Structure 1
Amino acid sequence: MSKAVAETTNAASVGTIPQKMPNTKKTQLQANVPRGQPKSNRPWKIPKQKFSTIKKTANRLSFEKNTALRDELRYIKDKSKEIKTQRKEAAVQRHQRRVENAERRLANERRSEIVQVIKNPSKIKRMKKKQMRMIEKRDISQVKVV
């Protein structure tokens, strides 16, 4: 009996080449198996795909769609550049206005000051410390003396 079995197997293997069957059962089983709690305790993480299964090339756009997309991107870039320049100009104008206001305020303070010219330098020697601190030097040619 063992002799007959050996002959039939040889005859079957010689005549035809066995072909691989796709492992559809394995993939279906893997898809249907419920996942447990992962080791990292992050249940929202999905299992990673093999790199070979990921689709790498997207469908190419037609020439018209591509040009339309390029035009739209160019329009968006121009618009954003315009907005940025407007913001920059506004910031420069605010800074300039602040500087001008500070200069005007300082000039107004100087104009409204009551100035007393010390002609006798020996007065400075007789002054107290607090009075010495109050003394400030000014250019009389710019400030009108009251």
Structure 2
Amino acid sequence: MTEETNEKVLSILANIKNNQENAEDSEKLEKVEVISGSKQKLLKKKDPIMGKPKSGRFWKSKRERFSSINKTKGLRQDFVKKTALRIDLQRTKELSKQVQEELKQKELNRKERRRENIKRAEENKRKAEIVQVITNSAKLKRMKKKQLRFIEKRDTNKQIEASK
């Protein structure tokens, strides 16, 4: 190191030592004894200089209680801005409700259309069926299980009347 840097380092160290000594002296001065009756109370006791934390996390500062933190009320807006903001917020809420209602309506319409299509398809399927009336019940007894599965009972009179 050069002489200038050595001198700067030494002067910084001297300043630190002076500050520590001044802090100790001021601590002694700040201990004020107040006599009330027979009891003695110490007021304004400063915390000692904190050393290295046990955990090794030097960047973590000592926590304060929430009650000791100074709270600010924040910036206050004037009445005109506040009312304009309120109206704008109300308008956006109405728009969002309107959009949600439209989406619900679209969904309901889509479901209704689907139901109608399923119903129409079922009707078309019934119309396209080939119907064969079985008058002889003995035929049913002779049929195999697989054939019996395909047999369905229908009222053919309604279909005949509807087609007229």
For normalisation by structure 2, the TM-score amounts to: 0.57
SS in 2 for 1:68: helix
Q: Describe how 1:111-122 pairs up with structure 2 within 5 A.
A: 111-122=127-138
Q: Which runs of 4+ in 1 moved over 4 A?
A: 45-49
1:97 corresponds to which letter in structure 2? R
SS in 2 for 1:143: helix
2:92 pairs with 1:76 = yes
Aligned residue in 1 for 2:73: 57
Structure 2 distance, partners of 1:142, 1:56, is 83
2:124 pairs with 1:108 = yes
1:86-138 Cα distance to aligned partner (Å, 9 max, x none)? 01001100100110110011111111111111112221112111111110112
Structure 2 distance, partners of 1:102, 1:46, is 69
Do 1:124 and 1:132's aligned partners in 2 also have CA atoms closer than 8 Å?
yes
Do 1:110 and 1:143's aligned partners in 2 also have CA atoms closer than 8 Å?
no
Aligned match for 2:104, one of 83, 88, 98: 88
Q: What is the count of residue pairs matched by the alignment? A: 114
1:5-35 Cα distance to aligned partner (Å, 9 max, x none)? xxxxxxxxxxxxxxx99x8xx8xx88xx9xx
Q: Percent identity?
A: 41
Aligned match for 1:127, one of 140, 143, 148: 143
2:122 corresponds to which letter in structure 1? L
1:26-74 Cα distance to aligned partner (Å, 9 max, x none)? 8xx88xx9xx538xxxx9x987554232425222221101100110110
Structure 1 distance, partners of 2:156, 2:88, is 64
Unmatched 5+ stretches in structure 1: 1-19
Structure 1 distance, partners of 2:104, 2:154, is 38
Aligned residue in 1 for 2:57: 37
Do 1:111 and 1:144's aligned partners in 2 also have CA atoms closer than 8 Å?
no
Structure 1 distance, partners of 2:133, 2:61, is 85
Aligned residue in 2 for 1:10: none
Structure 1 distance, partners of 2:96, 2:139, is 66
2:154 pairs with 1:138 = yes
Unmatched 5+ stretches in structure 2: 1-42
